[in-house]
Chain A
């Protein structure tokens, strides 16, 4: 049976005066999924989101919620529909004359009949989840941009919505914080099971948390499908947007995008003899949920990033190239090394990484359970040998299968030990 979309745009056109912003836009959003809308600045991504929440009305076409056009809803149906949607604005839209706890509790105070104690409890729970406990009584202008973003996220989630619209939640954040926010979105989506639609430029990071990608280009949706399908998408959109964003990402991190990783793999190995050998290493940060629980999203992202940067530095020096594959996983190809040599390189990496690979964990510790005695997490690595005619995916799968802990970190209260 075909899956029914929770929200559907059918031929939606929006004009501001004579300027057409959206031209017969069609797309679907499915329940319980994270859908990411990407596109150039000023192409109507926020306009699209504002149509869903009713802040804008289409000039032509229809928006359907579970098959029912929202412009034909009765007041009761409309209230029920809008009551399950939260919207996180690009500029946060926090009330600057209210403290963080007042901002977060505002929708509960105004739209529910909960008692004061219950409202305070729920608001503080949302504040704790977004790691803002220390600043709950401060005003938005007293917080950093990242904290304001998290406060807006707490306000969006406090009503337990079933659909959350995120309008560029990572704008203006540093790379660690950007990934932390995306990680937070993914974690809450997993935990609460809401349907998420987010606008983001964080390519390729956003692929790791998205079930579906929508590409808005030339006033139309030119692509909708899974991130993997999007990797294969051939369109001028890719040339104009993705290539520049991916190149920027590579310049910053030194790591390849998944697509460039594949291209490099194919170009490097297609020239080799069929019996030539190469090695693939698969790395992963294990127990990511435990790290987030104890140290918070920022620290988790810093650990992932530190691992990526160390892999790139170490294996890049011996001719390898690496890419981030999932939210906590990296892959490295050593095109001119057989398994024995790869094992030697890995042994060196293991030793170096244990000693210098991770930042000081004490300074990162900000999670929900910072006072517990200790917790552990591991870095896994596995090697596999491949041949040019074998698909990279199957070699990587084999490397994953061979993964064993190369470093185990035991974090005690107030510091780290290995």
Chain B
């Protein structure tokens, strides 16, 4: 039943205040309450993600997934390319001035390519998509929640998680690695523009170093990161919008705006934290 699902995932369950008398209880209560709330939220978000993931595998989802790929992927491509190009240019510029001190400008291609493919590509792409598509997802789903459109889905026997969240998760799984790859390519091109065209590094040496230094594990590592970031970003953003009505600090339009802010901030923080964790595993 819809109501059961909602109540099971209520992320804002308040923890009862302790009875007065014991000062230790009073001292630790805020920490304990917060820990319990965070634990509850983590459980709720995990259930939310797994339900949405399972519901991807439904033939009716196909056209919705294509639409979301267009929104998350195709419409983010321009901004990702722009940011990728200038990130590559800055990397080329900075690394040139470092490497020139050691007389190693020949390895500029290696430095630019590995920085982008291993770290900067996945992280910056995820942050850019969070800013462009993630915030829009939270706002859209949040508005659908407060205007009872999500309740309307439940009354029509349409699972709101399957209808609204699953296509976005599927689209993220497909779009994030593709956009990251695009970012890497354009970034390497940017590095060539600043390093070779503007600062005079040999183009052949640059591309030779890019190709020879990059191993398959670097590429797969970057793509695994982008996949993890994609799942995190979309789950966090959708979760914040889906449960915007359960915020205790605000209501209505304000709760949507606060949920959007929370979604973006939390997504960016989680991208960086998970980047460290995933890097530890793949190195």
**CB of B131 to closest CB in A, whole Å:** 21
A57 at interface, CB cutoff 8 A: yes
Partner among B3, B148, B158 whose Cβ is within 8 Å of the Cβ of A54: B3
- Cβ 8 A contact of A87, one of B147, B152, B163: B152
Inter-chain CA distance A57–B6, complex, in Å, is 11
- Check A109 against B157 for contact (C-beta < 8 Å): no
Residue B214 is within 8 A (CB to CB) of chain A in the complex? no
B2: chain A residues within 8 A (beta carbon): 54-55
Question: Closest approach, in angstroms, between the C-beta of A20 and any C-beta of chain B?
Answer: 18
Tell me the nearest residue of chain A to B162, going by C-beta: A110
A82 CB within 8 Å of chain B: yes
Interface string of B121-141 (1 = CB under 8 A from A): 000000000000000000010
**Please, how many angstroms separate the alpha-carbon atoms of A79 and B157 in the complex?**
8
| A235 CB, min distance to chain B CBs, angstroms | 32
Contact of A106 among B7, B140, B144, B158 (CB under 8 A): B158
B168 CB to closest chain A CB (Å) equals 14
The listed residue with most A CB atoms (<10 A of its CB), out of B144, B151, B155, B157, is B155
> Which chain A residue shows the least CB distance to B7?
A57
- Option from A53, A78, A93, A110 in Cβ contact (under 8 Å) with B158: A110
User: Which residue of B147, B149, B155, B158 is within 8 Å of A55 (Cβ)?
Assistant: B155
Report Cα–Cα, A79/B154, bound state, in Å: 11
Shortest CB distance B272–A (Å): 33
**Chain B contacts for A89, CB-based, 8 A:** 148, 151-152
Within 8 A of B (CB), among A57-86: 57, 71, 78-79, 82-83, 85-86
Interface contact A93-B151, CB-CB below 8 Å: yes
B156 at the interface (CB under 8 A from A): yes
B1–A78 CB distance below 8 A? yes
Q: Write the nearest CB–CB distance from A22 to chain B, whole angstroms.
A: 15
Per the bound structure, the CA–CA distance linking A131 and B160 in Å amounts to: 29
Q: By DSSP majority rule, is chain B's interface helix, strand, loop, or mixed? A: helix
At the interface, yes or no: B215 with Cβ under 8 Å from chain A? Answer: no
B155:A85 contact, CB within 8 angstroms: yes
What residues on B are CB-neighbors of A71 within 8 Å? Answer: 1
Is the CB of B4 closer than 8 A to any CB of chain A? yes
Q: Counting CB contacts under 8 A, is A107 at the interface?
A: yes
A401 to nearest B CB, angstroms?
47
Does the CB pair A110–B163 fall under 8 Å?
A: yes
- Of listed A56, A89, A93, residue having the most chain B CB within 10 A: A93
- Asked if A95 CB lies within 8 Å of chain B CBs, one says yes
Bound form: Cα–Cα A78–B3 in Å: 12
Please give, as numbers and ranges, the residues of chain A lying within 8 Å of B144 by CB-CB distance.
Answer: 95
Measured CB to CB, the residues of A under 8 A from B are: 50, 53-57, 71, 78-79, 82-83, 85-87, 89, 91, 93-97, 106-107, 109-111, 159
Interface of B toward A, CB cutoff 8 Å: 1-4, 7, 60, 140, 144, 147-149, 151-152, 154-158, 163
A-B contact pairs, 17 of them (CB 8 A): A50-B151, A53-B154, A54-B1, A55-B3, A55-B151, A55-B154, A57-B4, A78-B1, A79-B157, A89-B151, A91-B148, A95-B149, A96-B147, A107-B156, A107-B158, A110-B163, A159-B156
4 A-B pairs with the lowest CB-CB distances in the bound complex, closest first: A93-B152, A87-B155, A107-B156, A93-B148
Q: A55-B2, A86-B155, A89-B148 are in contact. List 18 more A-B contacts (CB 8 A).
A: A53-B154, A53-B155, A54-B1, A54-B2, A54-B3, A55-B154, A55-B155, A56-B3, A57-B3, A57-B7, A71-B1, A78-B1, A82-B157, A87-B152, A87-B155, A93-B147, A95-B149, A106-B158
